[in-house]
Amino acid sequence: MELLKVRLKRNLRRSLLRGHPWVYKDGVERPSGARQAQLCQVIDPKGPLGWAIYDPQGPLSLRMVSFERKPPSPTFFEKRFARAHALRAGVRSDQTTAYRLFNGEGDQLPGLVCDVYGATAVLQFDGQGPSDFWDRNLITRWILAETGCKSVVEKTRGGSERTLVHLGGKATAAEVEILENGVRFTVEIEKGQKTGFFLDQRDNRQFVRSMCQGKSVLNLFSYTGGFSVYAGLGGASRVASLDVSQGAITLAEKNWALNGLPATRHQGLCADVFEYLESEGERWDHILVDPPSMTHSEAQRETAKAAYIKVFAAAAKRVNAGGELSLSSCSSHVSFDDFFEIIEEALSAARRKGQVMRVSGQGSDHPFPHASRELRYLKFVHLALDQ
């Protein structure tokens, strides 16, 4: 069977050869007859360019895979898997048993995400195109043979009655326990957000641990209490975890107890963050604000920026004189430049000034292509506020 050929409408050769992984639908001549995502050969006026996943349905028509002459084979992809696994050697250890194994375009594995929780590997696909393209049997066999994982499952996105699909190996529990920097967490693989835990904040949680000795800490959008537990282990005098989900608060309290921390030093608050900040006047030594993504498209960017400014300003008003503020965004549509503008506007609205003590992003197991800085999606900024 002859492989599909897709022609570029614009001169994108230089950009793609430099490493940008995508071509949007307005950049290709739509081939007739293609109804499902599949491997294609990319053609431009100079001739064959490379190989890509062609998706006839999504906004990303092409996700580049290879620039070799021959189409990629199963062995080709296995080498990519091995490369990704080798790059995580410095992350995984007996003290850190959870990490991202495959990070999509960042590992030249377009649209493929795999997070490892102990002996369980959890797959997710970034949209229907990658889901249709990737060979689950190939991925599963390689993971079971080449990593310490004993089970491989797929976490399907919304709209499906069954969210966890067993792909191979032993059956896995809906909840698993992991270690991260020696800290213990229970991860709800089936019910939790994304694959179950936000692994990308690992390094930032460790930083927060070093900054909390003797301080009162409020963790907004706390989810299952990752930052809260680290603050407690860092010697915080008291910690409050606030989230709109009671299930998340319950698990945060469980994770707190799992690490031997006294219940009297932690308070779980099930509330809307915006309502809480508007109604409560209590002040804290350190407030963390790590909201879910407020925009999923470029069209929502300005609305999202306004929402970030509002919540960051409200939080800044609740920080004690000389206290600290940790701010984060996981939206790829908000750049680092945007984020600093947001912080500037928020502190101005709160009539506060700050010293930036840390600027960081996702951990090393979440790499991104050097030619696609928009995939450096996570922003984390820690500030010491004025006296």
Residue that has been written with the tokens 């920097």 in this structure: 181
**What six digits make up the tokens of 152?**
């491989």
- Would you say residue 191 lies in a domain? no
Domain region containing 166? 74-179
Distance of CA 116 to the CA centre of its chain: 14
pLDDT band at 35 (very low <50, low <70, confident <90, very high): confident
Assess whether 297 and 341 both reside in one domain: yes
**For residue 93, how many other CB atoms are within 10 A of its CB?**
12
Domain CATH code at residue 15: 2.30.130.10
- Would you say residue 186 lies in a domain? no
In tens, the pLDDT along 181-239 reads 999 999 999 888 889 999 999 999 999 999 999 999 999 999 999 999 999 999 999 99
179, 213, 248 - which closes a domain: 179
Assess whether 20 and 157 both reside in one domain: no
| Percent of the chain that is helix, strand, coil (3-state, to 5) | 30, 30, 35
pLDDT beyond 80 at 1: no
31, 46, 66 - which closes a domain: 66
If you average pLDDT over residues 356-372, what whole number do you get?
97
Q: Structural domain tally of the chain? A: 3
Assess whether 232 and 362 both reside in one domain: yes
Return the amino acid letter for 141. R
Assess whether 84 and 133 both reside in one domain: yes
- Would you say residue 193 lies in a domain? no
Q: Cα(164)–Cα(169) distance, rounded to whole angstroms? A: 14
**What six digits make up the tokens of 14?**
């230089």
User: 330, 368 in Cβ contact below 8 A?
Assistant: no
- Would you say residue 365 lies in a domain? yes
Residue that has been written with the tokens 């299952």 in this structure: 224
Percent of the chain with pLDDT over 90: 88
- Would you say residue 336 lies in a domain? yes
Assess whether 229 and 172 both reside in one domain: no
Q: Cα(5)–Cα(52) distance, rounded to whole angstroms? A: 10
pLDDT beyond 70 at 159: no
**What six digits make up the tokens of 172?**
């896995």
If you average pLDDT over residues 72-82, what whole number do you get?
98
Averaged pLDDT score across all residues of the chain: 95
Assess whether 347 and 252 both reside in one domain: yes
Distance of CA 194 to the CA centre of its chain: 8
- Would you say residue 146 lies in a domain? yes
User: 107, 80 in Cβ contact below 8 A?
Assistant: yes
pLDDT beyond 70 at 100: yes
Residue that has been written with the tokens 């995939």 in this structure: 375
Assess whether 145 and 220 both reside in one domain: no
**What six digits make up the tokens of 1?**
């069977």
Q: Is residue 63 classed exposed, middle or buried when 0-12, 13-18 and 19+ CB atoms within 10 A define those classes?
A: buried
**What six digits make up the tokens of 377?**
């999606």
pLDDT band at 86 (very low <50, low <70, confident <90, very high): very high
Look at residue 252 in the predicted model and tell me its pLDDT: 97
Assess whether 156 and 223 both reside in one domain: no
Q: At what angle do helices 136-146 and 74-87 cross, to 10 degrees?
A: 40
DSSP state letter for 3: P
pLDDT band at 160 (very low <50, low <70, confident <90, very high): very low
- Would you say residue 22 lies in a domain? yes
Assess whether 62 and 79 both reside in one domain: no
User: 258, 182 in Cβ contact below 8 A?
Assistant: no
- Sheet with strand 60-66: strands edge to edge: 22-24, 60-66, 47-54, 38-44, 4-8, 28-29
pLDDT band at 15 (very low <50, low <70, confident <90, very high): very high
Cα dihedral sign for 258, 262, 263, 268?
Answer: negative
Domain CATH code at residue 100: 3.30.750.80
Assess whether 56 and 78 both reside in one domain: no
Instruction: For the full predicted model, state whether its pTM sits above 0.75.
Output: yes
Q: Is residue 109 classed exposed, middle or buried when 0-12, 13-18 and 19+ CB atoms within 10 A define those classes?
A: buried
Pick from 349, 350, 356: which is nearest to 319 by CA?
350
Assess whether 269 and 149 both reside in one domain: no
Specify the higher pLDDT residue, 241 or 160. 241
DSSP string, 18-34: HT--EEEGGGEEPPTT-
- Would you say residue 208 lies in a domain? yes
119, 145, 179 - which closes a domain: 179
If you average pLDDT over residues 22-49, what whole number do you get?
94
pLDDT beyond 80 at 277: yes
Assess whether 12 and 104 both reside in one domain: no
